[in-house]
């Protein structure tokens, strides 16, 4: 990771960082804010990295003769249980808080409905403990959730209503297999696009533990989770957050 500092007196309070993600390809240049920031402040940079990584992944798949089969209006993956980082949960809760009425109330009602349905199906408790589940328990949770046919609260007319703000895990939901295979969450014929594990690294971003522990939040429970979990992570320099991210990504890939 290389940093280019702004010149003295630069009114744009940003600087440029160059990152090498993966072993090949051009380094990715991103702008980071100067000064100390909450972890949510580094999310736009992580989203930029994810979008560039995905763009390259799509191009490489196309060059191999395996184009992406996902199309606008196909939202099968938006009825799987998406797991996001604590940082993204706080960012999404803030996004909903800033929405004008009546949209804010509509979104909150959708989240409440999803949470209620998960609780009624006995899925909320295991979902909140997802980082500690065994592979068999994870599979049971994923199956149980998919069977409930719970729409993501942000899904509207089979499209993501917060497309530019969507979590990193949503950005990598791309397949090269026929779209109809996605109707079964365990269909072995589904061929997901292989990409660096950026979303997994973000789950570890705020952990000071050694080894880092994932802070994994089920997306439909994000508003409740944020309300129940006050932010305790101290602000850090944007460079420090980015360095952590790169280290967590390297650990995750290893």
Structure tokens at 46: 């992580």
C-beta of 48 vs 213, nearer to ligand SF4: 48
What whole-number distance in Å separates Cα of residue 93 and Cα of residue 248? 24
Residues in CB range of 203: below 8 A, 6 or more apart: 83, 85, 131, 214, 215, 216
In this structure, the number of other CB atoms found within 10 A of the CB of residue 220 comes to 28
Considering only the stretches 48-56, 131-139, 164-172, 237-245, report the one whose residues sit in contact with ligand SF4 under the rule CB under 6 A: 164-172
- 166 counts as binding ligand SF4 under rule CB under 6 A: yes
The least CB distance from residue 88 to ligand SF4, in Å, is: 10
The least CB distance from residue 167 to ligand SF4, in Å, is: 6
C-beta of 37 vs 160, nearer to ligand SF4: 160
- 152 counts as binding ligand SF4 under rule CB under 6 A: yes
Check if the beta carbon of residue 41 is closer than 8 Å to that of residue 206: no
What whole-number distance in Å separates Cα of residue 122 and Cα of residue 120? 5
- 155 counts as binding ligand SF4 under rule CB under 6 A: yes
C-beta of 141 vs 170, nearer to ligand SF4: 170
Nearest CA to 173 out of 156, 195, 188 is that of 195
| Residue among 30, 32, 49, 78 that touches ligand SF4 (CB under 6 A) | 78
Query: Prior bond to 211 cis, omega within 30?
Result: yes
Binding site for ligand SF4 (CB under 6 A): 78, 82, 152, 154-155, 160, 162, 166-167, 170
């Amino acid at each position: 990771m290389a940093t280019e500092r702004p010149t003295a007196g630069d009114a744009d309070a940003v600087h440029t960082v160059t990152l090498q993600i993966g072993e090949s390809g051009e380094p990715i240049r991103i702008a980071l804010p100067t000064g100390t920031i909450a972890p949510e402040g580094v999310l736009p940079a992580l989203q930029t990295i994810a979008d560039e990584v995905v763009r390259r992944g799509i191009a490489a798949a196309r060059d191999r003769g395996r184009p992406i089969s996902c199309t606008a209006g196909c939202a099968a993956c938006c009825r799987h249980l998406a797991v996001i980082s604590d940082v993204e949960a706080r960012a999404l809760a803030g996004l909903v808080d800033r929405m004008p009425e009546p949209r804010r109330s509509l979104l909150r009602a959708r989240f409440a409905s999803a949470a209620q349905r998960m609780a009624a199906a006995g899925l909320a408790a295991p979902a909140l403990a997802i980082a500690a589940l065994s592979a068999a328990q994870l599979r049971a949770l994923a199956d149980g959730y998919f069977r409930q046919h719970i729409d993501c609260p942000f899904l509207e007319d089979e499209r993501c209503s917060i497309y530019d703000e969507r979590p990193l895990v949503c950005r990598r939901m791309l397949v090269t297999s026929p779209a109809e295979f996605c109707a079964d969450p365990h269909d072995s014929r589904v061929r997901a696009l292989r990409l660096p594990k950026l979303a997994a690294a973000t789950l570890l971003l705020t952990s000071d533990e050694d080894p880092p522990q994932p802070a994994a939040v089920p997306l439909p429970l994000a508003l409740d989770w944020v309300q129940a979990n006050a932010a305790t992570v101290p602000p850090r320099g944007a460079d420090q957050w980015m360095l952590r991210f790169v280290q967590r990504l390297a650990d995750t890939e290893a």
